[in-house]
A and B are shown apart, each in its own frame.
Chain A
């Protein structure tokens, strides 16, 4: 390995499947109802669970009155603290692949930590019976009135942020304090992002079944292996005795990465009753019991010289966590890498609130952190009377200043300039309110986008069948992003077998262990394992072909190549399926495991992008709308530009939600006010601006042989900042607390 960044390489045009726009291979199944989602599963003799949840935010459960509910038609049992199985917590270790969403087990004690916490599970013969009985369970509480649900209320507005410092999150280089003090231009501001919820379309559900000592759970999961491992630890049984299946997921956004308590209580109920149990988490409880992006409060201090060169960056973060389980969103993890600056210091704090455990939500940490940093840079540009794009260029980091390593590949400058050119940034008037169109004032804003390009270890199986089809299997998932499709494209590219003949199996923990569908690392992680497994299977085929009496007897195996589903050596060739049939073998396959190598220590891997936003502000009716968003993204090679672009577009819409609408509000009593799809406001079709995404196409071969990084999250980063910056350009109002609601615009 050299320490030089590899030269940009454009796709050379010889690829036939990878890099092509392919519709999702599972699209027909989804459109015709053929895709089996977790809650669609009905097993023989199945029963239904329906949870009962706390209606107070803090206190103690003193008594449950169950008699009326138990006497209701169809009720089989009610599980709660006093009669629940004594279980052990999962070790909750990410590296050991047994991290869970909420560490506390359901019904573990009678303490109430948050509104919505499960206090019982009613199981009945039908969903309606279970729900009706659940509503007849009466709980008595000793209520505490010192609940905390709003970390912003703790903030004094100056100096240190509230909460407990997390020493492990702190990092620094140079002397940020001194550099800030001596900088001629200084900025010291606070920013916040409200509690957001994933609001997945497909509801969380578990269908659990015990057959002898084998547990099978059908779950809507972004991590079947993680859930399998965690259940094995919790029940104290071999992980080989647990199978978690999640063939299709109707969006997860992080809320389905790690197992939530409903899966445990459903599995216990199924074991106790000796019958399968299905629990679909009610929509209103999904907002409380399956994670959320925690409220974050941030302080950013920037010091610069008169030319705009950054001399000092301080980025302090604070986010909510829960008494039921720790979650650290580390909102400033990316900050030290983002810009060339010699003096940088970041710290993080946590505040424990009376809410369920937060979790990763699309671009966790970075989406929040980028909002603060990229808004602060816009404010700095105003102080400098400098173009915000020029300020970014001025501080471009040509290597990763945090790790002090070269980038594996970095085309951020091209992202900035490409997006700016397509957007028409040069038409921007920097004076707030200067661009007008009828009743509306137009504002332009921009921000840098970024997400770490991770890769994990992964196993996969690859097989050739005697009917000419291929089998590719991996215990990862397709959460709607197109993993099935890109695995098939990769298999097709390597073998010449058409995509239609490739049988991709995912979403089953009994398959070779695959990664979480999260962190934007699935593509970069899974495809190398598929490739390695294919090579194993190919070696088997060659052995078969060169065996005594075989078609390539006495041929050097190295001379045999794979082309269009055939083994080829010189002028001779044989269809692989025919080879198998001749040998009366149905399947020749191979398994392989791959992981990143020492390139991890030699390069920094990160994806980049730039996002430009036009807002329209109608001050006469306080109406703010996003009119246009233009983003250029550098993610290495896009295996499938159709699904990759779709990921960026979807992320942008989610960024609009963060910037304009989304927040779960708790009232002064710790009551969640808007935990429903009607009251939690996400963008709808009528809000959609013109969204123009361009993917640069520079394969990153240091990341893997396909040059692919990942694309699931980067599109969200920077969007809220670009919106907020555009709002400033339109209105002169600097809104530092997301979402930018009507009342904030009216108040400022």
Chain B
């Protein structure tokens, strides 16, 4: 048996001290246990952070909502402030996984979720994300589930999270802490594009851990999260869209659009936002916004349908968010 050390940390400082570069942190374990059993991750030490005092959700004086990294997905989705002020995030969370998994999964862990690319999850196969320089099996292989936005010739794997898409739309900051102190990283800069280094998935330095995610002050307006997938539940998105629409009369004063399932990271669709701002809230506007997002999309052998599906997700999510804004 491949052994590993196991330690528990009672506070953030202990976790930082005990956590080396070849180690893994475990909170809910819903990603880590899978990947260790598959031999995809081989930590020398696993540090249990589930006891850290990071389980609170609190409103800050500036109106932002500070979410502890150990708040479970269920708790966050069902929190009354989240349901009231960030419904797009609540819907995104509830569209992911199953109740059992959401009960275990933590906010910080969800941010750290790794791709479901089957080639990544099979150590027998070449994969630049798992073993840099070995090649990307998905580009030449089956890539039906893979990304059409943000890809590189080294990796086309999607980021699987729904929660992160909701957070990108809502606007958020990732708070990390390490031996050098505390850093705050804008949520959409936290995850990295694969580029030449698909193994570097996020802006987290060795020894750092996520302590909180702080949501921007509520944007109001109408909000909607739409997740499209083969079956009705318990499956990752083929395309998803989180939309927040603020109206002034019949015109869109401000919109936030984020996408999942089609991109290598939780995708802020700024092209859509620009196309929507100041425009009438009509189907034609929504379609122009969708076109704007997908004009840079690159299809591979099996995933060209995602360009159409992604546009459909945007149009419908904007329609529903607009209807919610009018309600």
Contacts and interface: CB of A to CB of B under 8 A. Distances in A.
Interface of A: 55, 73-74, 126, 128-129, 131-132, 135, 620-623, 625, 660-661, 665, 667-669, 671, 673-674, 676, 678-679, 681-687, 741-743, 746-747
* Interface size class, chain B: 20 to 34
A128 B228 contact: no
B45 interface: no
Nearest to A73: B1
B309 interface: yes
Contacts of A679: 116, 118
A11 B247 CA distance: 67
B33 to A, nearest CB: 14
Contacts of B228: 621-623, 742
Contact of B1 (A129, A622, A623): A129
B308 A674 contact: no
Contacts of B14: none
A387 B284 CA distance: 39
- Nearest 10 Cβ contacts at the A-B interface: A686-B233, A686-B232, A667-B141, A743-B305, A128-B1, A55-B124, A673-B142, A667-B142, A132-B1, A687-B232
Nearest to B313: A621
A74 B308 contact: no
Contacts of A746: 305, 308-309
A747 B231 contact: no
Contacts, number: 86
Interface in B89-142: 116, 118, 121, 123-125, 137, 140-142
Interface of B: 1-2, 39, 116, 118, 121, 123-125, 137, 140-142, 144, 226, 228, 230-235, 238, 302, 304-305, 308-309, 312-313, 315-316
Contacts of A668: 140-141
A681 B230 contact: yes
A661 B231 contact: yes
Nearest to B235: A681
A621 B230 contact: no
Contacts of A131: 1
Nearest to A135: B39
Q: Chain B binding site: helix, strand, loop or mixed by DSSP?
A: loop
28 contacts: A74-B1, A128-B1, A129-B1, A131-B1, A132-B1, A132-B2, A135-B123, A620-B316, A621-B228, A621-B316, A622-B228, A660-B231, A667-B141, A668-B141, A669-B141, A671-B137, A671-B141, A676-B121, A679-B116, A681-B231, A686-B231, A686-B232, A687-B232, A742-B230, A743-B302, A743-B304, A746-B305, A746-B309
Contact of B312 (A74, A620, A667): A620
Given A55-B124, A665-B142, A685 B233 contact: yes
A687 B234 CA distance: 10
Contact of B232 (A682, A684, A741): A684
B116 A678 contact: yes
A73 B3 CA distance: 11
Contacts of A742: 228, 230, 238, 305, 309
B118 A674 contact: yes
A373 to B, nearest CB: 26
A668 B301 CA distance: 11
A625 B232 contact: yes
Contacts of B2: 132
A671 B231 contact: no
Nearest to A657: B231
Contacts of A669: 140-141
Nearest to A656: B231
Nearest to B305: A743
Contacts of B308: 622, 746
B233 A684 contact: yes
